[in-house]
Amino acid sequence: MKDVAIVGVGQTAFVRGYEGSIRELAFDAFKEAMLDAGLTSKEIDASIICSAPEYDKQRTPAGTIAEYLGLNPKPTFYIETVCSSSSSGLRVAYSLIKSGLHRIVLVLGFQKMSEISSADSQERMGRGSDVMWEAPFGTMMPAYYAMHARAHFQRYGTSSEDLALIRVKAGTYGMINKKAVYQKGVTLEQIMTADVVSSPLKRFDCCANADGASCMIVADKEMVKSISKKPVWILGLGAGTAPITMSGRESLTGLNCARVAAKEAYRMAGVTPQDIDVAEVHDCFTIAELMAYEDLGFAEPGEGKALIRGKETYIEGKIPINVDGGLLSKGHPIGATGGSQIRTIVLQLRGEADQMQVKNPEIGLVHNIGGVGVYGNVTVLGRD
């Protein structure tokens, strides 16, 4: 299965108000990835640009960014699956390489969310649901995930304190991640006494919007031989979708798109949940991380809370998860998020994660969700 590898990764710091343009933001991540891979623009066969529309004025950002990065006249493509856009971009890059159309593909995700107000941003996020049957009634992301939390609480006896423990962990590792928006810890008491956003979710249960970019360079196995001494191989790719309306879901205690994607990725990679040494999961809200524990098979349904209570998802635990602080500390620049998660796992497998390094991982996993569980991507990566 070792046919396609990631040979370079890059990421900007995630910030609350980037002062430059989207092309400058993209360049910062691009430069880091290209230096990491030791390549030049002329060696890139194709590029895939990933973001969610309507956060900036540029109608076709792929063309703008490809030109600025010196990637013309090679083809460029624009991919959008909301928050999972850049992990979808990696799936497309893998397909382009496996088909033989291209040998080295660049995947770049970005978002500059500070160009619009928080109110406008929330309204756009709300339109990620059905604009006929849900969005007109004022639905927003915190309210959707609050529904998931209430369902999980009712069925499995999960508590607000269980969710707060996830946020404590996020802060623990956010403090040592120089590219995170929030580089400070938060206590259990602070979390539990914070203002309610959408009951039972409080302020610290929610991630923050951010500006940022991430970049991955993907190559076929023949090119890898001449490019990289530490390739990270794409072992498994899984994807799933769910009804966009909440009323179309069978259950609210988990995300079926993630379960489908995980099953497919594990099968393709020839591994089980027990084989995963380190993982990044989409923790846009604390309940999202808890559900991911169960959707990915790290815990049985309803038992995810035992993992965080026992600190099993810390670096020294049996399944380290989001030891870069996750979205809760890093921030969530929509189009860049999946690429940032993938970069973290690449660095882990290369032994280059500094203070966040897990001991000798061989197989890593990335779980990236778009919308409120509409799109689910799971990627399994391995080292030589």
Closest CA to 86 of 341, 363, 347, 284: 341
Tens digits of residue pLDDT in 159-188: 999 999 999 999 999 999 999 999 999 999
Question: Quick one: pLDDT at residue 296?
Answer: 98
Q: What is the pLDDT of residues 133-152, one digit of tens each?
A: 887 887 889 999 999 999 99
| Residues whose CB is less than 8 angstroms from the CB of residue 133 and which lie 6 or more positions away in sequence, other chains included | 245, 247
Question: Over the chain, what is the mean pLDDT?
Answer: 95
pLDDT at residue 311 is higher than 70: yes
Instruction: Provide the pLDDT for residue 136.
Output: 81
Residue partners of 117: CB distance under 8 A and separation at least 6: none
Q: Is 115 exposed, middle or buried (0-12, 13-18, 19+ CB in 10 A)?
A: middle
Does 206 score more than 90 pLDDT? yes
CA 313 to chain centroid = 17
Residues 185-202 have pLDDT tens digits of 999 999 999 999 999 999
Instruction: Give me the CATH code for the 4-117+210-232 domain, please.
Output: 3.40.47.10
Please give the span between the terminal C-alpha atoms of the chain, in angstroms, as a whole number. Answer: 12
Whether the per-residue pLDDT at 117 is higher than 80: the answer is no
pLDDT at residue 308 tops 80: yes
pLDDT in the model for residue 383 = 95
Full DSSP string of 48-103: EEE--TTSSS-S-HHHHHHHHTT-TTS-EEEE-BTBTHHHHHHHHHHHHHHHTS-S
Q: What is the pLDDT of residue 125?
A: 75
Tell me the DSSP string of 179-201.
T-S--S---HHHHHTSPEEETTE
Which of 50, 83, 207, 215 is an active site residue? 83
Residue pair 251/373 in contact by the 8 Å Cβ criterion: no
What burial letters (b/e) apply to 316-344, b meaning 16+ CB within 10 Å? Answer: ebebbbbbbbbbbbbbbbbbbbbbbbbbb
Spatial distance between the Cα atoms of 71 and 103, rounded to a whole number of angstroms: 15
Shared fold status for 4-117+210-232 and 134-206+235-383: yes
Q: Is the pLDDT of residue 104 over 80?
A: yes
Q: Look up 367 and say whether it is catalytic.
A: no
Q: What is the mean pLDDT of residues 299-322?
A: 98
Closest alpha carbon to 333 in 177, 211, 207: 211
Which one is predicted more confidently, 1 or 183?
183
Please, what is the Cα angle at 1 between 341 and 231, to 5 degrees?
A: 50
Q: For this structure, is 83 an active site residue?
A: yes
pLDDT in tens, 223-247: 999 998 899 999 999 999 999 998 8
Give the number of other CB atoms < 10 A from CB of residue 118: 11
CA pair distance 47, 282, nearest whole angstrom: 25
- Give helix 141-156 / helix 286-295 axis angle, nearest 10°: 50
CA distance 365 to 10: 18
Residue with tokens 């990679």: 269
- Which pLDDT band, with edges at 50, 70 and 90, does 215 fall under? very high
Residue type, 26: A
Closest among 244, 240, 282 to 260, alpha carbons compared: 240
User: Which is catalytic among the residues 102, 152, 282, 332?
Assistant: 332
Question: Does residue 116 have a pLDDT over 90?
Answer: no
**Is a pLDDT exceeding 80 seen at residue 129?**
no
The predicted pLDDT at position 228 comes to 85
Helix (H) or strand (E) holding 153: helix 141-156
The mean pLDDT value for 356-371 works out to 98
Four-way CATH pick for 134-206+235-383: 2.120.10.10, 3.40.640.10, 3.40.47.10, 3.40.50.1000: 3.40.47.10
What confidence tier does 1 reach under pLDDT thresholds 50, 70, 90?
low
* pTM, entire model: 0.96
Domain ranges of the chain: 4-117+210-232, 134-206+235-383
CA dist 323 and 359 (Å) reads 12
